[in-house]
Structure 1
Amino acid sequence: MLTARRSIVAAGVVLSLLVAASSAMADPGPGTECPPLVFDCDIHSGGNKPPTPGKPGGGGGGGGGGSAKCMARDGSGGQFEVPCFDEESGWFDASSSCYWRLMEPQPPAEDPVWAGHAPGDGAVYNGQCPGQPLAGGFRWFQAPPPGYGGGPNLEALAQEAVTKMRLLGADVGIAPKQGGTGTVGVPVWVWNGPSPQTTGPTSASATALGVTVTATATVADVVWNFGNGSSVSCAFPGTLYSPSFGLTPPSAASGQCGIAGYSRVGDYTVTATTTWAVHWVGGGQQGDLTTTRSSQVPVRIGELQVVGQ
């Protein structure tokens, strides 16, 4: 009964910490929308339109799935993957590299394993350590071992770390410049202004119940949709346009990004959707997730005007 009560209290502490973290981030800054209890929210660079949740390319962002792994240590200092929970062995604790299962029933009061403590003051657990057969055994703990009962939600901590990074969509640069007018058939150049929040890499950490998760985000690619049915994917920031380029179309082989031009006059919206790849480590586990951010800019295309006609 005491052990069950401690598990309930531990679960309540985790929820309280995560709710507190969400409340602290309820107002992350201009251009950001965070629903209650949602850690990974949509963040937009200046001039972007408000997001439309769930619609790709609509100016918003979203999170992707990931997977967590528990890593055990062997006698030579190497690591290998193990299940985070085993029905026979119990819950895995990365700090000891052992599984721990509550002894049921608990040993009698005179058993030396209590180390001078009375039954009810903490509890005795049985440890099994993959890769370290001489470790483990029966041990008294004042509180459940780290990781017992699942511990803090490491993926939620990773998402919290991602929120702390304040990742943005592309800081869009474009030629023809914003507010100007391009010409039918003339190449359009785009690029992503470099910064930790737009091109990465960038890192942040989050902590709960003594466990810290550190996440590092890098840009996997940016998909540029030009509003005329054409799009390009650039895994690089692109190249700032220079007048010396003339009418030469952008070349991906040279790290340039854009299209050969529009075929019709009109007003278009260029949408840049950045996919961030995030790798996180902490609590003896590691995993990967993806998240997206979108930016939009308008572009106007007109016809070439010839003087005297």
Structure 2
Amino acid sequence: MLTARRSLVTAGALLSLIISAPAALADRGPGTECPPLVFDCDIHSGGNKPPKPEKPGGGGGGGGAGAGGSAKCMARDGSGGTFEVPCYDDHSGWFDASSSCYWQLLIPQPPAEDPVWSGRTPGDGAVYNGQCPGQPLAGGFRWFQNPPAGFGGGPNLEALAQEAVTKMRLLGADIGIAPKQGGTGTVGVPVWVWNGPSPQTTGPTSASATALGVTVTATATVQDVVWNFGNGTTVSCPFPGTPYSPAFGLTPPSKAGGQCGIAGYSRVGEYTVAATTTWAVHWVGGGQQGDLTTTRSSQAAVRIGELQVVGQ
């Protein structure tokens, strides 16, 4: 009867990511009508910088990304369903999603005459012990030419998810604002802001990355946008906001109406309006799944003056 002791396998696969910074997107400049007492306004898409290259386990482009502890391994049960299991177990080894089993290298290896080799010579591949949660009749001793998928940790799936995020070239808000950047608004007149739609500014958008035969697909959606109006006022608005229309007149934007902005500035001056977009990313691949967040920033400038009455 063959007996074997288990040992912890510490060798892991090394994943190297080569990430290039995305090119900046071209601005667009369609016009729009102005609110009363605001003499020029349009949609502004400037100030939206492409993200910095991301590093595995971290974020880039004006914000951080993290997925620590969020990876999940999913095993199959006999009825075709799935349930979560640890990706590594001290007693069972590394989880392989393709077989839905844990595999651990047998040390010492079985003798050459053991039937598990099926006529092969020890050293030609290796024998592993499998334990399959939810499948009591599966597993056991098995010969593999190469280590089972996931053995030793396989590729870094969270790093692959980060690479997929980089491929998306996510951006901060493509800021639309009334009054326009470079134009002049009026003290006490509402200021409207919104986000120009595109896969990179409003989502959702997806991308994939592959290493060592494992593909991870990530999908990003906007979770939140926080606007800082440069006067001490910060608001989180319904996304993506509503472009200003002359029909709104001097009515302040309302969150209940899916609008975003402030009732107006109380002082003359130049202000920087900054938008911070938080993207929620869900990734799936290699029998695992997880979640991370990353932020992107953009900004626009607005000048506020006083209403001048002719004759004064």
* Residue 38 of structure 2: aligned partner: none
SS in 1 for 2:162: helix
Shift of 1:40: 6.5
Distance in 1, matches of 2:193 and 2:137, equals 60
Residue 221 (structure 2) pairs with residue 213 (structure 1): no
Shift in CA distance, 140/168, structure 1 to aligned 2, threshold 3 Å: same
Alignment check: 8 A CA contact 1:39 1:163 kept: no
- Do the aligned partners of residues 37 and 198 (structure 1) sit closer, same or farther apart at CA in structure 2, a change above 3 Å counting? closer
SS at match of 1:168: coil
After TM superposition, give the deviation of residue 179 of structure 1 in Å. 1.5
| Residue 98 (structure 1) aligns with | 101
Q: In structure 1, what is the equivalent of residue 36 of structure 2?
A: none
Distance 2:152 2:186 in 1: 63
Give 1:155 shift.
0.2
Is the CA contact (8 Å cut-off) linking 2:238 and 2:255 kept in structure 1? no
Q: Which residue of 1 aligns with 2:117?
A: 114
Please, which runs of 5 or more residues in structure 2 have no aligned partner? 1-6, 25-48
| Matched length | 280
What does residue 274 of structure 1 align with?
277
| SS of equivalent residue, structure 1 residue 116 | coil
Q: Percent identity?
A: 81
Counterpart of 2:153? 150
Question: Given residue 80 of structure 1, which amino acid in structure 2 is its aligned partner?
Answer: F
Deviation at 1:65, TM superposition (A): 3.4
Q: Deviations over 1:196-236 (max 9, x none)?
A: 00000000000000100000000001000000010111241
- Closer/same/farther in 2, CA of residues 235 and 103 from structure 1, 3 Å limit: farther
Equivalent residue in structure 2 for 1:63, among 48, 62, 65: 65
- Pairing 1:202-241 to 2, within 5 Å after superposition: 202-241=205-244
- Among 291, 294, 297, the residue aligned to 2:297: 294
Residue 154 of structure 2 corresponds to residue 160 of structure 1 = no
Could you tell me how far 1:35 is from its partner in structure 2? 5.6
CA distance in structure 1 between the partners assigned to 2:86 and 2:50 by the alignment: 37
The two structures, once aligned, show a CA RMSD in angstroms of 1.9
**Residue 71 of structure 2 aligns to a residue in which SS?**
strand
Instruction: Give how far 1:26 is off.
Output: 2.8
Are 1:138 and 2:141 matched, yes or no? yes
Which structure has more RCO (C-alpha within 8 Å, separation ≥ 6)?
2
Aligned to 1:62, the other structure's residue is in SS state: coil
Cα distance, 1:27 vs structure 2: 4.1
* Whole-angstrom CA distance in 1 between matches of 2:283 and 2:21: 25
How far off is 1:104 after superposition?
1.0
Structure 1 length as normaliser, TM-score?
0.86
Cα distance, 1:32 vs structure 2: 4.0
Name the CA distance, whole Å, in 2 between partners of 1:105 and 1:169: 56
Q: 1:72 to 1:39 in 2, by over 3 A?
A: closer
1:174 paired residue among 163, 174, 177: 177
- 1:293 deviates by 0.1
Do 2:100 and 2:133's aligned partners in 1 also have CA atoms closer than 8 Å? yes
Higher helix proportion, which one?
A: 1
**Runs of 4+ off more than 6 Å:** none
Residues 50 and 171, structure 2, Cα contact 8 Å, conserved in 1: no
Structure 1 residues 244 and 226, CA gap change in structure 2 (3 angstroms): same
How far does the alpha carbon of each residue in 1:213-263 deviate from its partner, in whole angstroms, 9 at most, with x for none? 000000001000000010111241000101111100001111100111111
TM-score (normalizing by structure 2): 0.85
Q: Is the 8 A contact 1:40 1:160 kept in 2?
A: no
Q: Give how far 1:142 is off.
A: 0.7
Report if aligned partners of 2:56, 2:159 keep a CA contact under 8 Å in 1.
Answer: no
SS state of the match for residue 223, structure 2? strand
List alignment gaps of at least 5 residues for structure 1. Answer: 44-59
Say whether the 8 Å CA contact 1:113–1:138 is kept in structure 2: yes
Cα contact 1:271–1:296 (8 A) shared by 2: yes
